[in-house]
Structure 1
């Protein structure tokens, strides 16, 4: 919270947006989604005003995560798709993999296993190219969940 006051004091809007988003992630980690949502929304508004597309993609993705936790998959999908589009425009490959994975999770939760599999597979392919072992592990685990939901061998 001290960082918020300092960024406000010096008029650093970009820093304030970053700090709000970081605090939102802390709140989300504690499963305090109401607080996380409010912080992410505040960050998003600042990032829109600044035309900070990279930050905007991050805030949208974080809001999508909260919507997903609330099982509002329609909102989550829209937020993740907007984030994905920005990340494609920016050439943010790591962010792209994350957005694809998140959209795969939403599709899986909505019972659209074929779409979920395709999205997660695309995310996994990117993670492999990046040498992102954590992304690979998460992708393989997601594919196993999808296969299990389809009654296929994992």
Structure 2
């Protein structure tokens, strides 16, 4: 297995888990919180898809699916187009409302674009510096592992919330 194939497999897990966690849920169910300021399933899946879309598009030098495929208009959220949910207040979290199917469709479209990029990577590509704001600078490999880690944590949180709410 090549490093690119390993990354593709990791991103596949995010897609499978993210799709499963929203399956069959209404907008109301996706917006339910297990506590007053807890993140609901819908926000968690939207956020993990936005993080993947933003970060992979950036390192690939391509436009995000969110804007290029019209998801920003379909979701019609009251945020800037570039918003990925990082640092959202409880009130902002509550403004993310969507049915499960559109969330799954957005995640699948992001996944398709991400995997298209990943399949073209060679082993040497993973050492390319993509962010010099950190010490040490961030390589492409580290950035991609960071995206998988962030997405996996959020999809796990979403699955936990689904269980807590008995959905």
Give me the TM-score of the superposition, normalised by structure 1.
0.27
The structure with more helix, counted as a fraction of residues: 1
Give me the TM-score of the superposition, normalised by structure 2.
0.25
